[in-house]
Structure formats: C-alpha cells, structure tokens
Structure 1
Amino acid sequence: MSGVREPHLKLTEVLAELDMSRAAFYRMRARGLAPTSIKLPNGHLRFRRSDLDDWLRECEETVLC
C-alpha cells in the first residue's frame, strides 16, 4: 500500500460541485438521498471523492436524486 490518502471534500466544495444550497442538501440528507458522509467530532461533514462520484453515477441511473 502506498500510503496515499483519498481526498476528502468539505461540504462547501460538494455544494459548489452540485450547484445546490445548503438547505436543499440537508433536506435531501434527511430523506436519506445524499452521498455518504463522514461526520467529524466537531460536527463538520467530509465526503470521500469516490463516494461522491459513486453517488453521482447512481443518480445518472435512477430518478431518485
């Protein structure tokens, strides 16, 4: 294993990429439709790049997103 960590995105970066408001994202998250996130001890969210990419691919294949 090379020791290279996968990049983690901040919520603001995900919102910018999705062109989505924070409120809309949290509504989607409350419904269980948002990408997988990591909640840090300080309450901030982080997103693995691969999880976001997988979620976007799933959105292409379904009408749930």
Structure 2
Amino acid sequence: MSESEPPSETTTWPELAIGLYDRLTGRNAEITYEFEDMEVDVPSKAGADADHAHWRVDGTLTITTRERD
C-alpha cells in the first residue's frame, strides 16, 4: 500500500498490529500501551483443546520502531 492509497479494512487484532507496525517502521515511531489490571488467557496453540496461561498485565508496554542500518 502506498501513502496515497486508503487503508484496507482491518478485521482482526493481528491485522491491526501488523498494519500499525508496517506503517510506523522506519519513522522512528513509538507506540505506548498502558494497562491497568488487564487479564488475558493466552492459548498454548490454536484449537479448542489448547491449554491456557493466565496473564495479568499492570503497567506500560512501549514499542519503538527504527530503520535498520
């Protein structure tokens, strides 16, 4: 996608994350997420029979992008 093209519709969280990363990489951009008592059950694999790890996030996650030399 070029700068002048409108973005296509995003339908999933992974697509959103990939799209943000692609748009911001090389622009010295920073994405900051702040969480307050967020709880997530993270699956061990795809499928109904997956085990889940329970994660609790309370704090800040910062993702910084930069160009490679």
TM interval, shorter chain, is under 0.3
The structure richer in helix per residue is 1
Q: TM-score normalized by structure 2?
A: 0.20
